[in-house]
Chains A and B, each alone.
Chain A
Amino acid sequence: MILAVVDLETFAQLTANGISRGAAVGLLGVGFAFILGVTGRFHFAYGAVYAMAAYLAYTFKDRGLFPPLVDATLPFWPAALLGILVVTVVGVAIERFVYQPLARFAGVNALLAIFVAALGLGIAIENVIRLLWSSSSQPYFGPVQERWSLWEVTFLNFDVYQLVTYAALTLGLAALLRFTPLGRMVRATRSNPDLALTIGINARQVYLVVFAIGTFLAGVVAVWSGLQFAVEPAMGTRPVIFAFAVAFLAGTASSPVRVFLTGIVVSLVEQWSSMWLSVRWTQTAVFIILVGYLAWLSVKQSSLYTKIRTRNAARVSPARA
């Protein structure tokens, strides 16, 4: 085992990397936690929808609006925006036409049924992408990448743009939840869908809005990530699994800001651990932390009884359908 000498420069560089990656994972975590926390759907297809956003943006810019028929392409920004919006509609459609009927039929087993359906959707969407665009990665160019440096630390202009965008979106969502009537409706539904129903809030419509917002966030991250790296069918898998971890570590019902910051902390831990561990171990390290956290959570459940009571209460709630 070789213990690398830790110098300040490396540390600063790793910190910068951690923040930049953490912002992406953090925002994905915000989206996933928002969906799971409010609707109770384990939206495993999130990663595939994410990849779809990047592919659509890329196609609208480089291939045409509808390649077999319409060859006209869009400039980068409108193409990116259109891709994100289309995928937002897809996200809403999944909730409306798959998850909501399932929740109605499956009753107490809705969580498992929705997880399985989401799994299936994820596999199907990823492979539809392979079928339509080929399995290899696609180069995708937009704004020019520049290398900036500040005190010995180098980073890309993209890193800065992303951090700003993601932080702004997180704060925007937090503000939306806190200050707007829509936000109040979402919070009411999150805490008790049945009670929300009694004051005239339709949980199902709120869920559609939640899926729109959650999917939109994934789309934004996907476009940036496609630009910075490449567009490929499985691009959603790893970031989204990290995002799951982040969402659960932060708590799915907690504020977007907290989830976002958790994402940054997790990435920092991952980056910093590379000073002592080989790269392969650092990726595993995050999951080891997650398992440790879940073990702690399990031990902390001093009373099984109270836990199950609340779960059952949530399960039988008809408004969740």
Chain B
Amino acid sequence: MQIWLNYLVQIIIYAGFGFSLNLLLGYAGQVSVAHAAFGAVGGYSVGYLTSTQGWSFLPAVAVGIVLALLAGFVIALPAMKLTVEFLILLTLAVSFVIVGVFSSFPQLGGTFGFTGIPKTELFGWTLRSPGDWVVPALVMAVVTYLICRRMGESAYGRVLKGIREDPIATQALGKNVFSYKLAVFGISSALAGLAGGFYSGWLQLATPTVYGFAFSLTLFAIVIFGGLANLHGTILGAVVLVMLEPLLRRVINLPAATASVVLLIVYGLLLVVLMLLRPQGILPEGARPLARLRYAVTAPRGPGQPPLWTKLRRGAAGDRLEMTADDEWSPSVDLAALDGSDGTAAVESGDPPPPPPTTSGEHIHVGFAAHEEQVVAERRWSLAPVVLEARGITKRFGGIVAAEDLDIDLRRGTITALVGPNGAGKTTVFNLLTGFIRPDAGTVKLNGTELVAMNPDRIARLGLVRSFQDVRLIARISCLQNVMMAVQDQDGEHLGKLFFGGLAASRSETRTREQAMRWLRFVGMDAFADVPAGALSYGQSKLISLARLLATDAPVLLLDEPASGIDTRWVETMLEMIEAVRDQGRTVCIVEHNLHVVGRLADHTYFMELGRITAQGSIEELTGSPELAEAYFGT
């Protein structure tokens, strides 16, 4: 009996380690093979303070947690910008450094470590038998579980997943990637320190071997085996990996020495087979073992296959909307709903809604007839106030001039286009304006605030956001979650409010969900809310990307080729939506090759060649100029 209780305590403690590693590895995607070393910080604190300084257990654990937190912060700094293979190497090295440093101090027992840690006392109760340890260990593991779950399955975890999949896109939505990574490394490490304290208290050992690299790998295997970003999987992983040993020894009856070797062979092969057959782990992200049954009954729609979609076709005169139910899905937007003034069919269409109200600008209604569009557009542009003012922006990469002395104005409620041949530096301009590339010279002012030298996330929070040519949705989370991620000022993204704010975080989550749904409805993709973004077609993902950008509520939007690579039918929809957003008073800048799109949308156009702006004006003026026509338009 005692021996089985021992296995139980071991499972519980391993699960505790596993939860915190899963937070780091599964949710935040930061590969660490140094988790045992962080545990060692807690374990050695308990060893040192209880056996030589006469401290009692819990204060010693507390010290261990604080030290491990600091160690986590220290590791986070070099880990910040490393790719996976370098992160593996860094954590490998760190694990050797931490354990190596511990075994170098005679005060810490040198190479032997602490082998005689006194029996743990909790509130005057001495833990003597394995059975005594079950409850304290369980308390530790449950606390760790709750913290990891709160961080992983919330608005905070959504950002962590964003960082895991695409830190650039996440930063572009205004998330401070640096502070998230710092926090997650620190907290994961602190929780490992907590588990380490209990582990050493239970084993009555804190030695370099206990916390050696092999233990790091065991913890790593538990998390991988159970499933990344699934805490229940981690419990399963801990059970399987711990119980393999008694299974081999007692059931198959191998001698102890052979059993431990066979055990490791089985471990190793399990990992290989698992990677080949089920790389996402036994319980993949999002899977809940108990919810399985319910899940099977209400089977969700397959991605990209909405059961029924109301297809809208605009009549030739634009005065009639025709609704058909059709299993072929086609994008749509209802202009009538946006512009009630012209009275065209305000309508039997029912659902397609206007863009949700934003705080970024008042509505500007400029009525105009089609043939006067260009003239009106230029006039509108010249009258509108300047929102973003870039002056003398210059950037060189070595000898290559990416941008030379660029002056760009974006005006409120207007659409500005940036055109030019491939390689002219149009996307670079977006990178320069949004802080992804720092200009060598020049200023960028957003409503008078200087943006140069600010980080991209800060710029995004100030209200200047950009989309990416290659869309960059977070593939493994749902479309709704992708859009929710973009909503600013969520309470659930602040650790303080998450843990101590009571219901604030969940209320904020409900609001965020509603807001995101409105934007999904606006782009006509609400039927896809629960579909993982990775399952969408290119055109659909562009719509989601637009919804995500709009959900930031930023007054200034930079759209990188919003209509490229999608078929004609989609283009029309996309253009209507961009116009709707413009009419809402937001400022839009597009990079676009398609002159039809530019002609339709742009109030003002900049023409770029080899990093310079060589002409500006209405698209008609530009296409009318023979030199430009030759340089770009090819006539």
Contact = CB atoms under 8 A, between A and B. Distances in A.
B265 A280 contact: no
A195 interface: no
Interface in A267-282: 278, 280-281
Contact of A291 (B94, B220, B258, B275): B94
A109 B89 CA distance: 17
A280 B100 contact: yes
B276 A295 contact: no
Contacts of B90: 290-291, 294
A122 B100 CA distance: 23
B93 A287 contact: yes
A216 interface: no
A123 B33 CA distance: 15
Contacts of B80: 298
Contacts of B96: 241, 284, 287
Interface residues of B, number: 52
Contacts of B31: 112, 115
Given A304-B81, A307-B83, A119 B100 contact: no
Interface residues of A, number: 53
A36 to B, nearest CB: 7
Q: Of B81, B171, B224, B258, which is in contact with the most chain A CB atoms at under 10 Å from its CB?
A: B81
Nearest to A135: B261
A124 B272 contact: yes
Contacts of B436: 303, 305
B347 interface: no
B103 interface: yes
B264 interface: yes
Given A127-B264, A280-B104, A291 B271 contact: no
Given A106-B279, A278-B104, A281-B104, A248 B261 contact: no
Given A111-B84, A116-B224, A98 B100 contact: no
Given A131-B262, A280-B100, A308-B168, A116 B89 contact: no
A104 B101 CA distance: 41
B93 A290 contact: yes
B268 A120 contact: yes
B442 to A, nearest CB: 17
Interface in B67-101: 77-86, 88-90, 92-94, 96-97, 100-101
A290 B89 contact: yes
Interface string B92-121: 111011001101100000110000000000
A119 B217 contact: yes
Contact of B86 (A125, A131, A294): A294
Given A119-B220, A287-B93, A294-B82, A106 B261 contact: no
Contacts of A294: 78, 82, 86, 89-90, 93
B535 interface: no
A291 B82 CA distance: 12
A105 B273 CA distance: 13
A73 interface: no
A287 B89 contact: no
A311 B279 CA distance: 21
A311 B83 contact: yes
B104 A295 contact: no
Nearest to A122: B268
Contact of A131 (B78, B85, B261, B276): B261
Contacts of A42: 85, 88
A280 B272 contact: no
29 contacts: A102-B276, A106-B279, A113-B275, A114-B275, A116-B271, A120-B267, A120-B269, A120-B270, A123-B268, A125-B268, A131-B262, A131-B265, A241-B92, A245-B93, A248-B89, A287-B94, A287-B96, A290-B93, A291-B93, A294-B89, A295-B78, A297-B86, A298-B78, A301-B81, A303-B436, A304-B171, A307-B83, A308-B166, A308-B168
Given A117-B275, A248-B86, A298-B82, 12 more contacts: A42-B85, A116-B220, A120-B268, A124-B267, A284-B96, A287-B97, A287-B100, A294-B82, A295-B77, A298-B78, A298-B81, A301-B81
A307 B268 contact: no
A318 to B, nearest CB: 16
